[in-house]
Amino acid sequence: MADAYLAQKKPQQAVPLYRAAIAAAPNADEVIDWRIALIFALLESGQSDQARQEMAALKRAVPRTRYDAPSRQTRYNGDYQKVMLTDAMLQAYLDNTREAWKKLDALLAEAPFNTELRNNRGSLALMRGWPRQAAGIFARVKVDEPQAYEASSGLASAAMDTYEFDQAGQQLDYLDSVRPGWRTLTTLQDRWYWETRPELVVEVGKDLSGARGAGEQNARDSQSRLYSSPYGHWRVFAQHNLATAHYSDEGKARYEAYGLGAQYRDSNGVGEFGLLAALDGSRRGGGFAGYTGRRMITGRSASGTRKTPAMCRSKGGWTICMAAVAAWHWVIG
């Protein structure tokens, strides 16, 4: 019953049932699995401190070696690796992925071909934002064990993280043929469905500082984009921009435009470009281009003779709007 509640994402109901089972049969063969499930039930119910306490208690209760009475020898405790893997993944779920990576490294140093450890390493690489590395890990698992379903699901996740939806679809079709109804597969199929659908994005804003122009009040702007379903790494989109403001020297200003553009997405970043045309009958128009990745630079230009509600400078009948942003990302192994 406790497992059923946890599978149904009802961890609060599962916690007391796991505790009762552990108390009633502390020496049962399944008690380690119950205690591990209890840790994740506590974590999913928002009781992270108690999850840490249970993890610490479990590590104390499961030593690396244990005495084997029939052979009268000290042998490696098979449950130890399971417990230490749980400890590593608990660190990952608590957003300490760097520490989790170190713990998994230590486990893999002792068992480099253990499929469960390798699959969890791939999952951790996905959590750290390394989909290419994760795909390599899962692909090597598949070479050694072609029937490793968890590796196939990992390849599907990595492909979607890098916007390679055709490859993800192939992995999902394979899993559907060999393991239909698998909960992990259903989750991935739902994700694939929604990420390959058209997408509407609406952004609205209001300027509270009055910094866009002299004496400006009540500046508002909105941008709406309707993206197509992806074609490989590409999507096309239609865009609508609307900006209004009130200036003390010129009264109300309004800018409304439609545009068309294209977007390219891959594991390195996202780039967009397009053209805009004003809807008020003026000759104002413009274009935009931008890229977000390790280094992001965006810019926009527009032409016209009227003041527009934007951070712009006018010269010779042209209104030039420029913006530049730089961002750097470091990966620390």
pLDDT tens column, 252-286: 878 888 999 999 999 888 999 999 887 765 666 78
Residue 75: predicted pLDDT: 77
Residue 303: predicted pLDDT: 34
Domain layout of the chain by residue ranges: 1-109, 113-195, 199-320
HSE-up of residue 64 (Cα within 13 Å, Cβ side): 2
Residue 281: predicted pLDDT: 59
One-letter amino acid identity for 62?
V
CATH architecture type of domain 113-195 = Alpha Horseshoe (1.25)
Cα gap 205→3, rounded to integer Å: 46
Residue 26: predicted pLDDT: 87
**Other residues' Cβ atoms within 10 Å of the Cβ of residue 44:** 18
Secondary structure class of 45 (helix, strand, coil): coil
The residues of the chain scoring below 70 in pLDDT are: 67, 207-218, 280-284, 294-333
Task: Output the six-digit token pair for 44.
Answer: 């999913």
* Beta strands in the chain, from DSSP E residues, in sequence order: 65-68, 73-76, 199-207, 217-227, 234-247, 251-266, 269-278, 285-292, 297-303, 313-315, 318-320
CATH 1.25.40.10 assigned to domain 1-109? The reply is yes
Residue 309: predicted pLDDT: 38
